[in-house]
């Protein structure tokens, strides 16, 4: 039986040959696009936009219409999960997210409820249905969730943090309490991603944005362990029998690459602080790699962007299993025209690199 996908992005996730390197960009939908700002205004605010399946579909498709990308990513936010578990969430302009009341004591955890994704997160499932419809299988849709550790940082700190004082204090003084929270989150995240898969997302990405603030022992114990638990629980076959690859992106965790590659995921996402060529040698053949252009390259000239793209493609080399992406998300002040330059550079330079020696996928 063959389940080989015709989609470049999915083929690369499974380390199958492609005609050119697939490309998508973290945070490809968002405030740098004037058409996004219009829809956000129509929705009222960011969270209302996430909760409106029709408008969430529209903003998911915006970058896909504007640029020649190989995958779409569901428009939502990782913090809708703690909200569904019973916390209050709001985004204040310029200040980032606020989650309350914060979790600090054992009794606080009892207030968190197990989520039925079809119920409390039904609006996400409706968005997945409607985005799949809108994409008409031209390119695959990626679903996502935050990792338990990254979600826990927001739930314990009450929002974004620079010092991670409360969650790290908890980690050292009350490790069992933190593990309880991480276990609860692992169950909820696994159910949530499985529901996204049942509704038709063709790959899932786990964002461990804050894994990099942990030491190597703590990363294994408090972040990787819960991501591994989730990966084991995922139904990695979609409704039509296609395999659903799992991408693990942990920012600032290049030094734990081998551990991540052994987690059971199919793809490891890298930020720009890791050398992509050396990374491929370290995990060679075990997982595909996604990344890892410094997003700030998009502030440079088209010529310089092309040079950096070429360098990155050559660092990986003409092997299967590379998905081109940024090492982190698009920023608000970036020029969409530079994304056009980036995507065409990836197309042209990767075709030259492959030089016809790797099988075409039509």
Burial category of 232 from C-beta neighbours within 10 Å (exposed 0-12, middle 13-18, buried 19 and up): exposed
The terminus-to-terminus CA distance of the chain in angstroms comes to 20
Could you say which DSSP state residue 291 is in? E
Which is nearer to ligand CP3, 30 or 200 (by Cβ)? 30
Q: Which of 153, 82, 78 is nearest to 120 (CA)?
A: 82
Q: Does 252 bind ligand CP3 (CB under 6 A)?
A: no
Evaluate whether 199 touches 127 at the Cβ level (below 8 Å): no
Q: Is 77 in the site for ligand CP3 (CB under 6 A)?
A: yes
121 scored as a contact of ligand CP3 (CB under 6 A): no
Q: Please report which helix (H) or strand (E) contains residue 234, including its range.
A: none
Which of 10, 13, 64, 73 is close enough to bind ligand CP3 by CB under 6 A? 73
Residue 40 lies near ligand CP3 (rule: CB under 6 A): yes
Residue 75 touches ligand CP3, criterion: CB under 6 A: yes
The interface region with ligand CP3, picked from 9-17, 72-80, 239-247, 340-348 by CB under 6 A, is 72-80
Among 56, 64, 78, 188, binds ligand CP3 (CB under 6 A): 78
How long is the chain? Answer: 362
Tell me if 222 contacts ligand CP3 by CB under 6 A.
no
CA distance 25 to 67: 11
**Distance from C-alpha of 51 to C-alpha of 359, rounded to nearest angstrom:** 42
Nearest to 23 by CA among 247, 358, 350: 350
User: Measured from the CB of residue 245, what is the shortest distance to ligand CP3 in angstroms?
Assistant: 17
The one segment of 70-78, 230-238, 256-264, 336-344 that binds ligand CP3 by CB under 6 A: 70-78
Size of the site for ligand CP3 (CB under 6 A): 22
Tell whether the torsion through CA atoms of 19, 286, 199 and 149 is positive or negative: negative
Min. distance of Cβ 62 from ligand CP3 in angstroms?
A: 9
- Binding residue for ligand CP3, selected from 13, 29, 195, 247, defined by CB under 6 A: 29
Nearest-angstrom CA–CA distance, 237 and 242? 5
Region near ligand CP3 per CB under 6 A, out of 69-77, 192-200, 239-247, 340-348: 69-77
Q: Which of 22, 97, 117, 321 binds ligand CP3 (CB under 6 A)?
A: 97
122: left (phi over 0), alpha (psi -120 to 50) or beta: alpha
Residues annotated as catalytic (active site), given as ranges:
27, 31, 40, 77, 154
Q: Which of residues 5, 20, 28, 62 is near ligand CP3 by CB under 6 A?
A: 28
Which residues in this chain contact ligand CP3 in the complex, by CB under 6 A?
Answer: 26-31, 40, 46, 73, 75, 77-79, 91, 96-97, 144, 146, 160, 207, 209, 329
């Amino acid at each position: 039986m063959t389940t080989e996908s015709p989609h470049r992005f999915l083929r690369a996730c499974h380390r199958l040959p492609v005609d050119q390197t697939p490309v998508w960009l973290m945070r490809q939908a968002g405030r740098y696009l004037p058409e996004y700002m219009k829809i956000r205004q129509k929705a009222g605010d960011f969270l209302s936009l996430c909760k409106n399946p029709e408008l969430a579909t529209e903003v998911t498709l915006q970058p896909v219409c504007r640029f020649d990308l190989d995958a779409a990513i569901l428009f939502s936010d990782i913090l809708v999960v703690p909200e569904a578990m019973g916390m209050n969430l709001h985004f204040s302009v310029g200040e980032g997210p606020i989650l309350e009341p914060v979790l600090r004591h054992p009794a606080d955890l009892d207030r968190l409820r197990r989520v039925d994704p079809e119920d409390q997160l039904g609006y996400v499932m409706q968005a997945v249905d409607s985005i799949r419809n809108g994409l008409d299988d031209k390119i695959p849709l990626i679903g996502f969730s935050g990792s338990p550790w990254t979600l826990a940082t927001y739930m314990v700190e009450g929002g974004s943090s620079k010092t991670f004082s409360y969650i790290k204090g908890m980690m050292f003084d009350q490790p069992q309490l933190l593990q309880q929270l991480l276990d609860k989150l692992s169950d909820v995240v696994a159910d949530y991603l499985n529901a996204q898969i049942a509704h038709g997302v063709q790959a899932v990405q786990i964002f461990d944005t804050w894994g990099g603030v942990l030491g190597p022992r703590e990363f294994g114990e408090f972040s990787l362990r819960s991501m591994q638990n989730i990966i084991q629980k995922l139904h990695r076959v979609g409704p039509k029998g296609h395999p659903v690859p799992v991408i693990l992106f942990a920012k600032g965790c290049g030094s734990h690459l081998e551990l991540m590659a052994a987690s059971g995921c199919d793809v490891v996402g890298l930020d720009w602080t890791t050398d992509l060529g050396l990374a491929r040698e370290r995990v060679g053949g075990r997982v595909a790699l996604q990344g890892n252009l410094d997003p700030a390259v998009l502030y440079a000239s088209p010529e310089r962007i092309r040079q950096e793209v070429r360098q990155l493609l050559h660092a990986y080399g003409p092997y299967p299993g590379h998905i081109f992406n940024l090492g982190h998300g698009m920023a608000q002040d970036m020029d969409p025209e530079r994304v056009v330059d980036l995507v065409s550079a990836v197309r042209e330079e990767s075709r030259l690199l492959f030089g016809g020696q790797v099988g075409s996928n039509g």
